Structure 1
Amino acid sequence: MGAHLPDSGFYDPNSEPVSTAQTDIFSVASVLYAILTGYWPYRGPGTVKTGEEMEKYGQEVDDLFGRRQFPNIDGLFAGEVIIKCWKNEYARADTVL
């Protein structure tokens, strides 16, 4: 486990601001989602152009994740794994895959 917390979209805003195995598992879900879809959770294709745009994205995704609303994973390879990671249904990383 690293000593730093992930950015919005890769971090559960309902969690304590401490790096834990659950933090890493939640992040893995967002990384897998980004790899499989080509973009971050709740963000379309393209790069972030300004700090203001990144801040707005962070607020929006933190709000959605904070309300336990996650992107649609229907038909996505490993979608069930991703959603279980986001919902903190795995206690340990070695049970994810």
Structure 2
Amino acid sequence: MKVHRSLQGSLYDLPILSCGVSGVVFGLPDSAVVKVPRGSDQSREELAIESSIYNRLGSHPYITKATPPKDVLRWAIQISQALQYAHSRYVFQSEDATGKLSDFAGSSIDGSAPSVLPSPHSEHPNMPKSSIQSEMFALGSTLYEVDTAQQLYHDKSDKDIHELFRAGDFPDMSALMLGEVISKCWRVEYKDLGEAVNDITRIQSKYVTAVE
């Protein structure tokens, strides 16, 4: 069983396997599961602790596993490619990206104003809404959550998050597998999401070579 904090927009059609004090477990294809918090700050903190514990324990035949790096990279490519395709059709998600893009009810098409906006963890207050820049920034926050199993600045208020973003104050990404890509997305150093996909693919190739 694989446990991972996923992005919640695509969960509506998934079967619920179990509910606990801190999270809800949904079934995914290929005998995998996704675990998401019940919604409170306490539940998010508890799942972040759980993720840290799995990372410390590593692999053991009688302990469920944390998300393997190959899956993190695969999900990162899928999310980035899905957003890239949506942009080619003049559609902007304008919400938190998901493993499979879905729930476009509040999104922007052909430049229309979105009715639903990203969470403060994914929205830069100085960037135009429903733009390549804002979606690239949101992708960085999404990939951060995929790589770390917790939201960016999950322990800070919305106001504090906006101030940190305005100041260009982000966590050190040097230890993360997707750190280079995340930083470039936050600083909008890609001209389009195709460049992000290329960088993730390059990281994936290095990882595959290293484990072979």
Specify the TM-score bucket, using the shorter chain as the normaliser: 0.7 to 0.9
Where does the alignment leave 5 or more consecutive residues of structure 2 unmatched?
Answer: 1-91, 94-107, 109-113, 198-212
State the match for 1:72 in structure 2: 172
CA distance, structure 1, for counterparts of residue 174 and residue 153 of structure 2: 15
Where does the alignment leave 5 or more consecutive residues of structure 1 unmatched?
Answer: 45-55
How many percent identity over aligned positions? 32
Identify the match of residue 20 of structure 1 among 104, 107, 131: 131
Report Cα offsets for 1:74-95 as digits up to 9, x if no partner. 2101101100100010111111
State the match for 2:120 in structure 1: 8
The 8 Å contact of residues 190 and 196 in structure 2, kept in 1 or not, is answered as yes
Q: Which runs of 4+ in 1 moved over 6 A?
A: none
CA distance, structure 2, for counterparts of residue 24 and residue 11 of structure 1: 8
State the match for 2:149 in structure 1: 38
State the match for 1:82 in structure 2: 182
Offset at 1:6? 1.2
CA distance, structure 2, for counterparts of residue 40 and residue 60 of structure 1: 14
Report Cα offsets for 1:41-88 as digits up to 9, x if no partner. 1125xxxxxxxxxxx621111110111001221210110110010001
CA distance, structure 1, for counterparts of residue 132 and residue 193 of structure 2: 7
Q: Which amino acid in structure 2 is aligned with residue 72 of structure 1?
A: D
Q: Which amino acid in structure 2 is aligned with residue 90 of structure 1?
A: Y
Aligned-pair RMSD on alpha carbons? 1.5
CA distance, structure 2, for counterparts of residue 19 and residue 6 of structure 1: 10
Q: Which amino acid in structure 2 is aligned with residue 7 of structure 1?
A: S
CA distance, structure 2, for counterparts of residue 90 and residue 65 of structure 1: 18
SS in 2 for 1:7: coil
Q: How many residues align?
A: 85
